[in-house]
Chain A
Amino acid sequence: MHHVDTLIGNESLEEIVESCVQTIETPGFADAQAWKAEAPGRAIAGCFPVYSPVEVFDAAGMLAVGLAGGGNRMEIAHADSRFQSFVCSIVKSTLEQGMTGMLAEFDALVFHSICDPARNLASVYQRNFPDKRVEYIHFPQNLGVPEAIVFLTGEYARVATSMSELTGKYPSADALRGSIAVYNEVRALIRRLYAIRSEAPHRLSARELYPLVRYGNLVAPEIHIDVLTRALAGVLQREGRPRDRVRAILAGSFCEQPPLDLIAAIEDAGCYLVDDDFLIGRRFFYADVDASAEDPYRALAQAYVDGSVPVAVKHDLRISKSEALVARARAHKADAVIVLCAKFCEPALFEYPLYRRALQAAEIPHIFLEFEEKMWMFERTKTEIETFVESLLFA
């Protein structure tokens, strides 16, 4: 089974991180499959980014696995004949995972209204894998009006019904409240780790924090809580002194994920990443979702509408995302912003001109970079960041 389980007690933070790295870098979904095999009636839902209401799947007796693309070890042999060269990589690698049988044990796949390629991917999946339940969640884009919550509450209930057809278990209010409480704990731990990193980035690097969060894509939330709790204990014990580095926040990597080595290269180039939007869906809310609400479906919808973080794929007219980025940079006392977009990711690329305007007006230096999940040479990016960092340190 998974590597973390086999560690007992006093392992170091480094060991916990490295076992998470091993799990996330091993192709396939061994932990999820093992979880499913443990008891009859269990099912797996693969959730495409950015955010998915994982509680609903959990409460229906499913493991909500976070799909995060194929990384830089997967060769795309079939999917690129289906999606053109100008479509982002995660769309193709996710299809490739299906076409090479890696998702054979998955019962459902869930996509969201984040962008046009992801939406068409939902259809392509449905056609190519008729035995899988493909769901498409439409998130409201008119967030300032009360009917948005009503609509989304209904949308979640609809998805719950669909999933219960697979597991025979419609998520009762109690079960859903329970799942909300569990995922609240996950999110609170992640928030805590993020806060520590912002406060004292020398005690926890992005290269370490990232795998700890990403591990949760692959295992049951209870296991994730256990790992995060132990990691937190390790972080709190860590000493060390801050070094002379640029404090930067990162934006643009909310869906397709950069390779871990790229994250490491950014730090090695002389940055402390004090905030980022990697896997933003796993810590989507500012605060806990109400786990004792009379209607937990509504509570989840309310959290999306009124309590979730700004992200390119959400269009909330009540706030300006570029102002929010500037505010985030200030809140984290960042010296600079790194805009790191997945190549061909239209939502991320569309943010950039507005970000640029706002950052220039606020006199916050920034750098714009593109990546692809499949890249494996980082020297150029590293050099670009080094040059950027130098320009800041010696300005």
Chain B
Amino acid sequence: MTELQYQGHLHQLQKQLMANYYAALTASAEGSGEPAAYLLIGGNPVELLRAFDILPVFPEVNALQLAVKKQSLPHIQAAEFMGYSSDNCAYVKADIGQYFAGRKTPFATIPEPSLLLCNYVGCNVYLDWFGHLSEYSGCPAFQLDIPFIRSKSGFPSKDDVDYVMRQLQRLIERCEEITGRQLDEDRLRECVRLSSLTGELWSKIKHLTKHTPAPYDAYFDSVTMMAPLYCLRGTPEGLVFFETAYAEMAERVAANRGPLETERFRYVIEGPPPWPHLRTFRDMFSRWNAVAVASTYSTVGGLWEFGFRHDPDHPLESIACHLLEWNLTNRNFLQRYEQIERYLDEWHASALIIHSVKSCRLFSAGQGDMREYFTKLGVPTLLIESDLEDPRYFSEAQMRTRIDAFFESLGHRALVQEASA
């Protein structure tokens, strides 16, 4: 029943690399001269920034760090005092709260933006968020408009790709203005090459959870790897991290080791985690020896496990495709159903947990329909509600009761199936 505490090499490395990353942000805030660009996780084009030596700042990552460190509530309340609604995405509120609190967090001082790169990849809140930051900081926003996937085929059209390519050219011009330097194409190719290798490793890591027992929890442990995936992708350190991660996870597969002593249930989970209560939430599953073998949340930044790789021979095109097609947020809701179906099938999971978060309607709006769909397919499905940032929306007792009841009946079902087999 006890969860293995693996503060292994990987964990240490993650901490170290993220500390270095945040130190660079603080240095920039304190005048190191390295310009900082804010951008969003959805399909992020971080390679382009790295090629210009612009520091990427992900307000979503900062917001979630605040929540994990139980520091989000005062910022959320400060934003509500400014007129933000209790119904607005709390990532935005926490971020705006910390912005006005001097951008000092327990992990870094966040620099003022030299570029507000609003990569509008699916989430409509992104546009408001960066629009507001622009108004508050005086830094003009660059709106990178990514057409949503709206064809039955699930692919962007040629017009969509052209449109994004033209805008990427403009983005390059903006970066040239900010840095006073021309784009170094070799440098961009190199960043994209590093990204491509990183993506390859991340994809392999994700496929490892097809193994029984899964070597790590594809929800709770994936999040450890997601911050480097965004903040460090396209850098040599980022690549080293994923090489280490792959080696460690492959070793665990070889040794038949999972994150728990035994693996009793394999489930797929949809929706972002409740960051302010992550530990408690994880325990609710661990005590049932239940392991997430795949999660949709770990694909907001990119869907490498389904085949996407950056292409150093066509760097901009591949950045455009990443933005348009190869991430969860720009795909439509039904494509998410397909994604989950693939996970259930290819990753051998027997249940679906839908964690519905109030803040994020991109994820949550319509999850009742999703539950209906999977229930009809015969997949035991549980929908639970809380929030990803606001600690006030988490009713522990109720959540625990529902999760317990769900796994109890799942266990019962498995027994019945065994008996009749």
Contacts and interface: CB of A to CB of B under 8 A. Distances in A.
B395 to A, nearest CB: 14
A182 to B, nearest CB: 28
A303 B267 CA distance: 50
B365 A117 contact: yes
B18 interface: no
Given A138-B148, A151-B147, A344-B87, A84 B364 contact: yes
Interface residues of A, number: 55
Interface string B107-145: 000000000000010111101100110110000110111
A63 to B, nearest CB: 23
Interface string A139-160: 0111001011011001100100
A200 to B, nearest CB: 34
Contacts of B157: 158
Interface string B333-347: 110010000000000
Which of A116, A141, A322 gathers most chain B CB within 10 Å?
Answer: A116
A317 B368 contact: no
A87 B362 CA distance: 11
Contacts of A128: 369
Nearest to A120: B366
B163 A150 contact: yes
B369 A124 contact: yes
A349 B88 contact: yes
Contacts of B211: none
Given A117-B366, A119-B332, A86 B145 contact: no
B163 A347 contact: no
Nearest to A370: B85
A84 B372 CA distance: 13
Interface string B83-100: 111011100100000000
Nearest to A148: B145
B358 A86 contact: yes
B367 interface: yes
A84 B124 contact: no
A3 interface: no
Contacts of B159: 151, 154
Contact of B85 (A116, A155, A349): A349
B101 interface: no
B87 A121 contact: no
A141 B166 CA distance: 14
A113 B369 contact: no
Given A124-B333, A138-B150, A151 B163 contact: yes
A91 B365 contact: yes
Which of A136, A154, A346 gathers most chain B CB within 10 Å?
Answer: A346
Interface residues of B, number: 51
B332 A123 contact: yes
Nearest to B165: A147
Interface stretch (A31-39, A235-243, A327-335, A351-359): A351-359
B135 A116 contact: no
A155 B92 CA distance: 31
A83 B372 contact: no
A192 interface: no
A81 B148 contact: no
B332 A147 contact: no
Given A81-B372, A91-B365, A142-B143, A119 B135 contact: no
A87 to B, nearest CB: 5
A317 B143 contact: yes
A350 B90 CA distance: 12
A73 interface: no
Contacts of B88: 346, 349-350
Nearest to B356: A84
B170 A84 contact: no
B148 A82 contact: no
A354 B135 CA distance: 8
B369 to A, nearest CB: 4
B306 to A, nearest CB: 19
A16 B122 CA distance: 43
Contacts of A151: 145, 147, 159, 163
Contacts of B144: 142
B87 A114 contact: no
A353 B365 contact: no
Given A83-B365, A84-B368, A136-B150, A122 B332 contact: yes
A83 B167 contact: no
Interface in B314-344: 332-334, 337
A87 B369 CA distance: 13
Given A140-B145, A350-B132, A317 B140 contact: yes
Nearest to B170: A145
B365 A87 contact: yes
Given A82-B369, A353-B82, A119 B148 contact: yes
Which of B92, B120, B144, B356 gathers most chain A CB within 10 Å?
Answer: B120
A121 B127 contact: no
Interface in A336-366: 343-344, 346-347, 349-350, 352-357
Nearest to B148: A138
Given A116-B123, A119-B332, A147 B141 contact: no
A148 B164 CA distance: 10
Nearest to A135: B150
A115 interface: yes
Interface string A75-92: 000001111101100010
B263 interface: no
A84 B131 contact: no
A155 B167 CA distance: 17
Interface string B346-381: 000000000010100110111111001100000000
Contacts of A158: 157
A126 to B, nearest CB: 6
Contacts of B150: 135-138
By Cβ-Cβ distance, the 3 closest A-B pairs, closest first, are A123-B333, A353-B83, A117-B365
15 contacts: A82-B368, A84-B356, A86-B364, A115-B361, A116-B122, A116-B362, A117-B365, A121-B365, A127-B334, A141-B145, A142-B120, A151-B147, A346-B124, A346-B125, A347-B128
Given A141-B127, A320-B135, 15 more contacts: A84-B358, A84-B364, A84-B385, A116-B123, A119-B124, A120-B361, A123-B333, A123-B334, A136-B150, A142-B145, A145-B167, A148-B145, A154-B159, A346-B87, A350-B92
Interface of B: 79, 82-85, 87-89, 92, 120, 122-125, 127-128, 131-132, 134-135, 140-141, 143-145, 147-148, 150, 157, 159, 163, 166-167, 170, 332-334, 337, 356, 358, 361-362, 364-369, 372-373, 385
